[in-house]
């Protein structure tokens, strides 16, 4: 049975493979004969066809999208997803002052800093050093260095500030500047060079009532609960320009750091286990606060432990590791320097026992007593040659420089408690305290 449909091919053949009879238009052009029973087909312009196709596609797509939204909201219960995300972002922002947008985390710590800043002070250390000139002459030169401190307590007569030992070392005058810009001269209560900690005191009668209202005592946190990756904020007197803030995270815990003595070139490894952070810690930040997202002090920053060629690595002393030590230093009597001619002497000759020798020889770090001066206070107290002085009145002594610096606070005739360690018959060192009446410097 023949196919009942005829169709048009552009080659002039009909559906049966037979040619159509051509015809001519009025202009003499040749045209193909249209099959019987069919009206002539008009071609649609290509631009119009494309436009219509696009409109049809858009209508169908829109309808599909709207239909899927209706099904998702009514059948699958997806209504309010956008609102939920917005609420979650606000919740994180209010609790930890951190907000997350896409994959980028931003931080606003202004409210934390506003609460902590009144407990942070700037410390200026004025000292006089002996300088030798080209011709061998010696002159005195005044130098100034900057650091930071944290207000940790007050007693009946003093405001107490903790800082690094190296911030106050060798000072002739210490000036503490508060958040409101006022300043007061301060004195050292106690220092510990081993952990690089010191406590200084400013007399309350030299601090105005307005300043006392403007400042606050810092809240100490628990550094034993720290986790790597949690936020960290460093506040301090960077470069001596005044208080500034840097932010980062806790990069690592329990770090041991090697220190190089600038004068001798000797390198020693610190026994203290430190907090590592990528919050910038620069000269002047020493003694400042490393705080957590709750505004609690979790560490005491130290720029001394950061090399010039290092970026993104800062260290802080964990506050929980030194809290007992700080308490002991706070309880010591406040020290004021006495005139050089009036300073007392123990009555010994000695030499430093640095950390590397201490470990090699299995002896305490401090001052090795090489000679007992005849008729001096050490002889009268029963001190022996070969013993090692490790502290004066509870303040750690790690070298001859430490010993001489501490003696600047004592007059001849005063009694001091000297902590010494002596070697027993089995080779072990035993610690004991002896009371020494200081003699004159000439002894």
Q: What is the pLDDT of residues 302-338, one digit of tens each?
A: 876 665 566 778 999 999 999 999 999 999 888 888 8
Average pLDDT, stretch 363-382?
91
At 416-442, the pLDDT tens digits run 999 999 988 888 889 999 999 999 886
Residue 356 is predicted with a pLDDT of 75
Closest by Cα among 213, 210, 214, 191 to 201:
191
Q: Is pLDDT larger for residue 150 or for residue 61?
A: 150
Q: Can you tell me which residue has the tokens 């005058």?
A: 173
Residue 208 has pLDDT above 60, yes or no: yes
Average pLDDT, stretch 356-383?
88
At 79-138, the pLDDT tens digits run 443 333 333 333 333 343 443 433 344 468 999 999 999 999 999 998 765 566 666 666
Among 104-118, 181-195, 219-233, the range with the most confident prediction by mean pLDDT is: 219-233
Residue 74 has pLDDT above 60, yes or no: no
Residue 270 is predicted with a pLDDT of 61
Residue 336 is predicted with a pLDDT of 86
Catalytic-role residue among 119, 122, 171, 196:
196
Confidence of residue 258 (pLDDT cuts 50, 70, 90): low
Catalytic-role residue among 166, 223, 251, 278:
166
- The region of weakest confidence among 190-199, 230-239, 348-357 is 348-357
Confidence of residue 360 (pLDDT cuts 50, 70, 90): confident
pTM recorded for the entire structure: 0.67
Residue 52 is predicted with a pLDDT of 56
Residue 351 has pLDDT above 80, yes or no: yes
Closest by Cα among 323, 279, 276 to 297:
323
Catalytic-role residue among 193, 286, 303, 399:
286
Residue 185 is predicted with a pLDDT of 94
Residue 131 is predicted with a pLDDT of 61
At 2-30, the pLDDT tens digits run 444 333 344 444 444 444 444 444 444 44
Average pLDDT, stretch 406-414?
91
What's the whole-number average pLDDT of the chain?
Answer: 77
Known catalytic residue at 286: yes
Known catalytic residue at 196: yes
Known catalytic residue at 103: no
Residue 133 is predicted with a pLDDT of 61
Closest by Cα among 355, 372, 362, 344 to 441:
344
Confidence of residue 259 (pLDDT cuts 50, 70, 90): low
């Amino acid at each position: 049975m023949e196919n009942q449909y005829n169709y048009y091919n552009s080659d002039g053949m009909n559906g049966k493979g037979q040619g159509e009879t051509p015809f001519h238009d009025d202009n003499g052009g040749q045209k193909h004969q249209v099959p019987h029973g069919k009206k002539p087909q008009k071609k649609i312009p290509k631009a119009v066809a494309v436009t219509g196709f696009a409109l049809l596609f858009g209508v169908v797509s829109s309808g599909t999208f709207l239909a899927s939204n209706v099904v998702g909201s009514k059948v699958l219960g997806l209504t309010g997803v956008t609102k939920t995300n917005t609420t979650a972002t606000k919740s994180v922002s209010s609790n930890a002052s951190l907000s997350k947008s896409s994959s980028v985390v931003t931080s606003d710590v202004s409210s934390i800093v506003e609460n902590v800043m009144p407990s942070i002070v700037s410390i200026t250390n004025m000292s006089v050093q002996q300088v030798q000139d080209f011709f061998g002459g010696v002159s005195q030169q005044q130098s100034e260095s900057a650091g930071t401190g944290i207000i940790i307590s007050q007693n009946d007569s003093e405001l107490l500030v903790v800082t690094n030992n190296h911030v106050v070392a060798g000072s002739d005058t210490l000036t503490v500047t508060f958040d409101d810009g006022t300043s007061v001269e301060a004195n050292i209560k106690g220092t510990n060079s081993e952990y690089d900690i010191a406590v200084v005191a400013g007399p309350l009668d030299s601090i105005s009532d307005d300043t006392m209202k403007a400042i606050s005592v810092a809240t100490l946190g628990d550094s034993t609960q720290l986790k790597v990756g949690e936020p960290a904020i460093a506040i301090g007197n960077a470069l001596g320009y005044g208080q500034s803030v840097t932010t980062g995270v806790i990069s690592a815990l329990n770090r041991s750091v090697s220190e190089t003595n600038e004068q001798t070139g000797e390198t020693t490894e610190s026994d203290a286990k430190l907090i590592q952070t990528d919050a910038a810690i620069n000269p002047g930040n020493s003694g400042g606060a490393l705080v957590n997202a709750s505004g609690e002090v979790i560490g005491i920053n130290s720029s001394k432990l950061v090399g010039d060629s290092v970026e993104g690595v800062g260290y802080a002393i964990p506050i929980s590791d030194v809290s007992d030590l700080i308490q002991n230093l706070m309880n010591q009597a406040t020290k004021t320097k006495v005139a050089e001619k009036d300073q007392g002497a123990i009555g010994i000759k000695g030499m430093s026992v640095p950390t590397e020798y201490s470990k090699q020889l299995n002896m305490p770090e401090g001052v090795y007593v090489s000679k007992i001066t005849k008729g001096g206070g050490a002889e009268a107290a029963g001190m022996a040659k070969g013993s090692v002085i490790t502290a004066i009145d509870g303040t750690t002594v790690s070298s001859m420089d430490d010993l001489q610096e501490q003696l600047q606070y004592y007059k001849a005739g005063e009694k001091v408690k000297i902590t010494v360690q002596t070697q027993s018959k089995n080779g072990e060192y035993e610690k004991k305290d002896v009371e020494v009446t200081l003699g004159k410097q000439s002894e």
